Each structure stands twice: as structure tokens, then as C-alpha cells.
Structure 1
Amino acid sequence: MSHALPDTAPSAPAPPWHHRDFRFSLLASALAFSGYALLLPVVPLWAVRQGAGPFAAGAATGVFMASTVLAQFASGALVRAQGYRAAMLWGAVFLGAPTPLLMLWPTAPGILTVSLLRGIGFGLLTVCGSALIAELLPRESVAKGSGLYGLAAGLPQLLGLPVGTWLAQHWGFVPVFVLATALPAASVAPIVLLARIHPAAERGRRSGLRDIVGATWRPWLPMLAVSTGWGALATFLPIVLTSPSSSVALFVAPCASMFARWAAGAIGHRVGGPGRMLPAGLAVGGLGLAGFAVLTSTGSDGASWPAVLAVALFGLGFGVVQNDALVAMFARTQAGPASVAWNVAFDAGQGLGAVAVGAVVSGTSFGVGFGLLAAWAFALLPVAWLARRAG
């Protein structure tokens, strides 16, 4: 049975300037996301140091992610009206420009206001950056392009999360704020070099909410499952595992995820068939969560390093699902709506994972919480198989 993309005619090669614009979009995303990653662990720390309290520290991340998701939903109207270049410029401005206000307004209202504004910018950049994969590349190159975009988005987080914390602790907060302002500002240069790109109109692809949900729910649910797992791990790893194994796990998981996403893109580019790797990726991610649940339920310090290996296994599945779910969504609906759906699953899933496991753990244990996440991943394997077969 063929798993080719819906169009029967082969796609024409993308013009050379489209490949150039794709490289510009990757560079812009890498620079802007570096500014995001530097501040992700630093803003809560800044809130505590300024006496805003632990509630403001946690609320800063919550407000950031909430405004990110709202901006992702609203991005379609902005892109249709002004194009991708203008939307990315607004994203870079909102992500970087409010950052100095953290020094000028270091109270809880100020920190939350800055977080809200920066979340708007991050939401616009994530949707536009991933949508441009399908807008700029020929269909047969979308999987490979998604893998490269994963590197552009993953490397800044892999480096920025520990570097931001280290700079704040050793050099102070001001250098971090300066960098987090300058890097999104630097992304303006490659954004300006982009052509004026508007969403491509595709015959036979309706973009109403009901149509988008009907087209994307099969790859969307597996994506939500693994992002929920990652949100829970990122939140509770420092609590469940002792140092230094917790720090190693927080590095290994995104590293494995980034590598697996890139590899899935390279493999998908050769074998074709969007969604083919979703069942395997979801199964591997579920096994990692199940292993982590079993090992942490023992309560033994000797289980820490095997738990790190379980987290690494989850990271591999997470990366594969990230790439293949996005490619599968591109194959089923227009680039903009597909990008919104994927990014909402990613960002909302992270918050859902932290909240859900926190609620379960309050009455049971971490083993039960992560075991339920693993069970959910395994329960969605039939859906992942449908996503593999339906195009």
C-alpha cells in the first residue's frame, strides 16, 4: 500500500531562492530561540532573588506558555494579512525587546508582564518557523527540512538552558538579560532577507477548524502524548533523581531527542511516507516512560543511572514523534494550520504533563504518575498506526 503524499503529480523542485530563504529562516530561528532558552530557567530564579516569591517564579513560566499558545492560535490571521516575514519580525520584537524591563520592573507584576509579552513573540516564531518548512521546500524534502529545523530549535535549548543558569550564578543576571535581548535582535537580519512569503493556497484543502481537527488528530494525539511525558520529566526530574544524575538526565533527554529528530528527518527523506515512524517512535517513548516509572518506584539510589538511560530512551522516541507528526500534519492540511496544531500539542502538552503528574503524585507516587503516562502512550499506538496509514 502506498504511503505517498495526497497529490498524484510529483512536486516540482523548489526554486533556488526558496532554499536560500529556508536557510535564512533556520538562522533566524536559531538566534531567536537562543534568547528564549537563556531566560527559561533564569526568569524564575530572578523572581525569587528579587523577592517576588516562588509563586511568581512558577507563574512566570505558566504565563509565558499560556501566551505562547494563544499567540499560536492567533498567528494564522496575522500571517494571512501580513505574510511570514512580518509575523516573524513581530515575533523577534516581542521576544527580545521586553527583556530589559526585567531589570527596570523587578516586581511580580513586571516579571509576569514581560513573560506574557515574550510568550507572544515565541508563539509567533515557533509557528512561522515550522510552517516555512512546508512553504519553502518541495514535498519530498519536507521530512529532511523538519529534521534540520529540529537542530535549529534544539541546539539553542541544549546550550542555552545550562549556559543561562551558569552566567546568572557566576557573572550576574545583567549579562544574561543583555544576551537575551541581543540574540532575538540579531535574528531580525536574516528575517529581513526573507522574501515576502504568504501562505500558499492549495486546492482541495479546507482550513476551517473542523477540517483541520479532522485532518490532524491522528498525528496530533501521539505528539501530545510524548510532549506530556517531556513536560512531566522536565518538571520532576530534579525532584525524583538525586544530583548529578538529574542534571545528566536533563541534558541527555533533549540531546537524544534532537539527534533522533534529525535522524528521523534524514530517514524520512529517503523512504518517504509521512507518519511511517510514528508507531515505533511512540512505542520507544512509552517504553522509556515505563522504565522510568518502574525504576523510580523502587526508591533506590542505585536506580538513578538506569533511570537516566530510560530518560534517554524516551528522548529518542520523543524526537522521532516530533519529526514524523509534523510531516504527517503537513501532508494532511495547509502548512500554517499544521504548524499551529503541532506547536499547540508541543507547548500545551508540556504544561499538561507537569500539572497532571503533580496532581497524581499528591495522592500516590511518581511511579504511578509516570506509569499512567506510559500507559497513555501505549494506548495511543492504534491511533499512531492510523496516522501511518491515512494520508
Structure 2
Amino acid sequence: MVLRLVTIVGASASFFLLLSVVPLYAEESGGGSGAAGLSTSALMLATVCGELAAPRLTARYGYRLVLASGLVLLGAPSLLLTVSHSMGTVVAVCLARGAGFALTVVGGGALTAVLIPPERRGEGLALVGVMSGAQSVVALPLGVWLAQHTGFTAVFVIAAVLPLATVPAVAGLPRREPAAQKPLGMVDGFRTPALALPAAVFATTALGAGIIATFLPLAVPAGRAGLVSAALFLQAVTAIGARWVAGRYGDRHGPAGLVVPGLLLCAGGMLATAPTGSAAAVLVGMALFGTGFGIAQNATQTLMYARVPPSGYGVASALWNFAYDAGMGLGAVFFGLLSAGTSYFTAFAATGALMTAALVPAWYDHRLSQPPAATPETPSDAKDRPTDPCP
């Protein structure tokens, strides 16, 4: 597990170091804001496509090869940016890094589920979430700071070295165990309600996360950059803490009961954030949303792993990560269209209200998780049943 955490730190730190730096580099290299958007779009497109393809690769080649390949694709292409400023190179690097990140989160996620005992799965996944979340809190602003003070080349080299340096740790991880049955495919995952329903609920909360990351800096009145930074930091920290608490609680009482509270807290956070001119409203809203998002992350992921055999861990990991990335992307697009025709207040309030529609799949999923009711015995059945000779 320690070796797996080493690979998580290398992959997450590299990914978040360049998440804002590459668009900045593309813009300053003469491409303008369109180039910045194109670089991010290429990264996310390759990530989503890679997540859909990763389960088949994992089933065929095993966890270690897929994870190691992802680390190499995430790191090595970054070095190309030190020698070329062309937009074609930037897009190619983003496509390669997106595919590499997809392989690390899907192949690595399935491997993580194998390493954690089922009775401590929630806590183990929470630990993984804390490690990766900490990288986003630290590496995202650090990458921009380094680019401004040391130059882009230093950031690109660091982002390449971090995942490549963790590749040897993969050798100490277990191979994929032979599956006792045919592995699930992605189509099977989308068709299986036990996986698709919690993924749909989580995608709804991720929709809010994409909106906050993209539009909160624009919605808060100009001149209050300190409030935006504090709110985003508060959201990230509360999400990490809630993910840890939800994991420990879920191991003791079951994760199914946490899905709806997590969803409602996310919706409440969006509603509370609507009056973006109020610092108190923004901070309270981000604390609520962060708490709900952390709960939803752990509860849905733990549920999905618990509902498949080990041969289905790859699909569960891919479907959960697909819900994460697709939800964030769709959230930004939806909110942009909505806010353009109304106002940020109306858009935040309407989004919070619309998020409650995910209570429908959450309710169906809750029904799936309930054991069937026992058929009451008739007196004759009780009389005919042999008694247990042991006290």
C-alpha cells in the first residue's frame, strides 16, 4: 500500500502541477485564450477516452503494466515542451498526458481495491483520496508560482521527473490475479444498475465541482481575489476531511446511507453560494459543498467496488472516474450557457435546485441495497422445521 501511495503522489503531483501551467504556456506562446482552452480540452478528452479503454487494457495486460505505462505517458511527454513552443506540440503533449493520467487512475484504482481488505475499503479509499487531494491543494498553485518565478522549463522538468521516478515502485506491487470469471466490460458497467446508479449520483456532484472551479472566480465581484482563494481552499480542505470521515463511518455502518446526505449537502452548498456578493455566503456554501462532495466521493466509490468481484474492479474504477471527469466537463458547459442568459445568482440557485433531481437514481440505488424482506413463517412451517440441537 505504501508503494501504491508513492505512485499516487507522483502521478497526482505531475498532473496538477501542469493543469494550469500548460494553458498559461499556450497563451503566452502566442496562441491566445483559444489555445489555452484547446490545451485543456485535449487533456480532458484524452482522459475520458483513456478511462473508457483502460478496463480492457487492464484485463489483458494486468495492473502493473497499465499503471507503469500511465506514469511514463504522464511524465515523459512533458519534456517535449522544453524544446518546442508550437501549438501542435502542446496539443500532442496534452493528449498523451491525458491518456497517461487515465491509465494511472483506472489501473491504479483497480489495484488499490485489491490491496485493501474489504472490511476497511472505505478507510483505505479515503486515504488514497487524502493523498491525491493534498496534491491538488499544493501542486495546483505551486505550478503557477514556479512558472512565474523560475520559468516554464523548470516546471516541465519537475512534472516529468515526478511520475517517472515512481515507476520502479510498480515492480513491488502485485500482478493481476487470474479472474475466476470473465471480466466485466464498460458496456456491462453502464448496463448494471448497481454501478450506473451511484455513478450517476456522483456525476451530479462532480457537475457542481466543475462549475465552482471554472466560474467562482468570475462570479465573485472583481477585487476580491482573496475571497476566491480562501473559498476554493476551504472547499478542497473540507472535501478531503469529509472523505476521510465518510470512509471510516462507511466501514462501520455501510456507505449506502451516505450517498443522499452527500448529494443534499452539495446541492445546499450551491444554493448557499448564489449570493456571490456576500463573503459569508460564499464561504458557507463552499464548506457545505466541500463536505458533501467528499462524502459522495467516498460513499459512491466504496459502493461500486463492493458490488463487483475482483474481476470487475477495473470497470468500477473506470466508471467512477468517467463520472467524475464527464460531470465536471458538462457542469462547466451547462453553467456557462445558463449564466449567459440569466445571472450568476440565478445560475447557482438553479443548479443547486436541479442537482436534487439525482435523488431519483439515489432512491432507486437505495432500494437495490436493501435486503429482500423475509417471508413470514406460518405456524405449520414453524412446527415442521427441525429445531437446532445446539443451544
Distance apart, 1:191 and its partner CA? 1.3
CA distance in structure 2 between the aligned counterparts of 1:274 and 1:207, rounded to whole angstroms:
25
Q: CA separation of 1:201/1:144 partners in 2, compared to 1, >3 Å: closer, same or farther?
A: farther
Aligned residue in 2 for 1:306: 281
Aligned residue in 1 for 2:35: 56
Q: Give matches, 1:277-296, under 5 Å.
A: 277-293=258-274, 295-296=275-276
Distance apart, 1:210 and its partner CA? 4.0
* SS at 2:342 equivalent: coil
Contact 1:83–1:199 at 8 Å: present in 2 too? no
Segments of 5+ residues of structure 2 without an aligned counterpart are 370-391
Distance apart, 1:206 and its partner CA? 5.3
Bigger mean CA deviation after superposition, 234-243 or 89-98: 234-243
Q: Give matches, 1:1-391, under 5 Å.
A: 22-198=1-177, 200-201=179-180, 207=185, 209-210=187-188, 212-214=190-192, 215-241=194-220, 242-271=224-253, 273-293=254-274, 295-296=275-276, 300=277, 303-333=278-308, 334-391=312-369
CA distance in structure 2 between the aligned counterparts of 1:199 and 1:146, rounded to whole angstroms:
23
* SS at 1:98 equivalent: helix
Q: CA separation of 1:344/1:208 partners in 2, compared to 1, >3 Å: closer, same or farther?
A: closer
Deviations 1:252-292 (A, max 9, x none): 11111111111111111222x23220011111111001111
The AA in structure 1 aligned to 2:241 is F
CA distance in structure 2 between the aligned counterparts of 1:243 and 1:123, rounded to whole angstroms:
32
Contact 2:7–2:169 at 8 Å: present in 1 too? yes
CA distance in structure 2 between the aligned counterparts of 1:55 and 1:67, rounded to whole angstroms:
18
Aligned residue in 2 for 1:19: none
CA distance in structure 2 between the aligned counterparts of 1:23 and 1:275, rounded to whole angstroms:
28
CA distance in structure 2 between the aligned counterparts of 1:287 and 1:199, rounded to whole angstroms:
45
Deviations 1:43-67 (A, max 9, x none): 1111111112111101111110110
Contact 2:189–2:316 at 8 Å: present in 1 too? no
CA distance in structure 2 between the aligned counterparts of 1:206 and 1:71, rounded to whole angstroms:
17
Bigger mean CA deviation after superposition, 207-216 or 220-229: 207-216
CA distance in structure 2 between the aligned counterparts of 1:285 and 1:113, rounded to whole angstroms:
35
Aligned residue in 2 for 1:3: none
Distance apart, 1:198 and its partner CA? 4.2
Deviations 1:284-308 (A, max 9, x none): 1110011112x12xxx3xx034212
The AA in structure 1 aligned to 2:209 is W
CA distance in structure 2 between the aligned counterparts of 1:33 and 1:44, rounded to whole angstroms:
18
Distance apart, 1:383 and its partner CA? 2.4
* SS at 1:195 equivalent: coil
Segments of 5+ residues of structure 1 without an aligned counterpart are 1-21
The AA in structure 2 aligned to 1:311 is M
* SS at 1:390 equivalent: helix
The AA in structure 1 aligned to 2:357 is A
CA distance in structure 2 between the aligned counterparts of 1:142 and 1:372, rounded to whole angstroms:
35
Contact 1:290–1:370 at 8 Å: present in 2 too? yes
Bigger mean CA deviation after superposition, 171-180 or 335-344: 171-180
CA distance in structure 2 between the aligned counterparts of 1:228 and 1:365, rounded to whole angstroms:
18
Distance apart, 1:213 and its partner CA? 2.9
Contact 2:48–2:326 at 8 Å: present in 1 too? yes
Larger radius of gyration: 2
CA distance in structure 1 between the aligned counterparts of 2:200 and 2:281, rounded to whole angstroms:
28
Bigger mean CA deviation after superposition, 228-237 or 358-367: 358-367
CA distance in structure 2 between the aligned counterparts of 1:140 and 1:243, rounded to whole angstroms:
44
The AA in structure 2 aligned to 1:93 is V
CA distance in structure 1 between the aligned counterparts of 2:250 and 2:340, rounded to whole angstroms:
41
* SS at 1:187 equivalent: helix
